[in-house]
Amino acid sequence: MRWRKFNGQPIETPIYNAVETAIKRETEAGYRLKVCIGTDSQVKGAETEFATVIVFLREGHGGFMFIHNEKTTHQYTIKERMLVEVAKSIEIAYELCNLFTLYAVDMEVHADINTNPNFKSNDALKEAMGYILGMGFAFKAKPEAFASSSCANKMVN
């Protein structure tokens, strides 16, 4: 999995190490951190592109993020695509959750799923919420899910 910083600089170390280094650096600088993980996708012709982000929020002092993009030619229904987004977020949250526990960093998984039943993505809300909460993670959906609906959304080319 290739990750990069917002400025495009590739992250050369495994993501676990990069996140641990960032947590240590930020906490040593006196910042209280919260991490939000989210994925968004966009269909363009035969391709679907996914962007997963790890957003580090420095309480009262902005933030930064790590980004991973991938493309596939697999065709999804809207519900499948929403659940694949959630699965990608959970996969990285699960890989990193021991770090967040070790360093007492709050973490949320954000789903780009609308809580309004008038939107198609709402079909996946119950399953996504059950999946995320069942894994023991805090969950946010639109409009509070800024990691997926704002940050990851801007990273899908």
The pTM of this model reads 0.93
| Mean pLDDT within 37-42 | 96
Range of the domain at 7: 3-155
pLDDT band at 124 (very low <50, low <70, confident <90, very high): confident
CA–CA gap between residue 20 and residue 95 (Å, rounded): 12
CA–CA gap between residue 101 and residue 51 (Å, rounded): 25
CA–CA gap between residue 101 and residue 45 (Å, rounded): 41
| Mean pLDDT within 61-78 | 96
What are the pLDDT digits (tens) for 141-151?
988 999 999 99
What are the pLDDT digits (tens) for 81-112?
999 999 999 999 999 999 999 999 999 999 98
C-alpha dist (Å) from residue 143 to 105, 109, 135, 147, 149: 23, 13, 22, 11, 8
- Joined together, the tokens standing for residue 149 give 């609906």
Angle between helices 15-28 and 78-102 (to 10 degrees): 50
Choose among 29, 52, 11: nearest CA to 151.
52
Number of folded domains that form the chain:
1
